[in-house]
Amino acid sequence: MNEKKSPKIALITGGSRGLGKDMALKIAQRGNNIIITYNSKKAEAEDVIRQLKELGVEAEALQLNTGNISGLNAFAVTLSEMLGKTFNAERIDYLVNNAGTSLDATALADVTEQQLDNLLSVNFKGVFFLTQRLLPLLNDGGGIVNISSGLARFTVPGSGAYASLKSAIETLTRYQAKEFGSRGIRCNFVAPGAVATDFSGGHLRDNPQVQEFVKSVTALQRIATPDDIGGVVAFLCSDDAKWVTAQRIEASGGMFL
């Protein structure tokens, strides 16, 4: 008689809304327990936790500013304590580095050092060092999913600083796959195209002119929603993807082919 396996645990940063929220819900639908982080939207995070629990899984939220590198050690301690108390576990199985910030519609000639430092802290250093801090809390045979962007492949003027750091994430992920592979940890990255969320102040979601442009350069000729991305991440956070590592999966509907 086969023993019932304990649910696996996924940690999704920036899981209180947008893409991160849908990732959390899709991963939970596969029977995994969930931990999400939020920066400032506690009420939104609590609503996501309610939705996750309605799916029949255990779920918790933790506050985290991924750009505050000095706070990552304390976060790892808090996470470890939560794992034992709430999930009766010592480690997570999946880490999804989704939290990020943007700097759209800013030409390279106009980007300030402060703006670039902020992007660097959240979009690259936060991913680099959070993953480093959580390695002792990640089960062998688990998985890491980093979120890149279609902008790392194609160019849209005004997105150069943001896209450059996403390109760095893609290189980092390949090195993670190589260095963590001896532990059976798979590392992949998903590159969404333009998605209608509140990211970048809702620039796409609230601008019909921008929407029409995006449709005109997209093979599937529509605007993406978070539901188009979450399932891809959920696949990578499953045994269905047990032989997939160091891969770039672009979920853009075929932008700029």
pLDDT, averaged across the chain: 94
CB 161 within 8 A of CB 151: no
Residue 1's pLDDT is 47
* Phi, psi of 193, rounded to the nearest 5 degrees: -90, -150
Measured between alpha carbons, how far is 188 from 236 in angstroms, rounded to an integer? Answer: 8
In the chain, the amino acid numbered 29 is Q
The pLDDT of residue 257 is above 50: yes
154-193 exposure pattern, b = at least 16 Cβ within 10 A, e = fewer? bebebbbbbbbbbebbbebbbebbeebeeeebbbbbbbbb
Instruction: Give CATH superfamily name and number for 9-251.
Output: NAD(P)-binding Rossmann-like Domain (3.40.50.720)
- Catalytically active residues are 162
pTM recorded for the entire structure:
0.95
Residue 201's pLDDT is 58
For 11-39, write each residue's pLDDT tens digit: 999 999 999 999 999 999 999 999 999 99
Residue 145's pLDDT is 98
Measured between alpha carbons, how far is 43 from 47 in angstroms, rounded to an integer? Answer: 6
CB 137 within 8 A of CB 91: yes
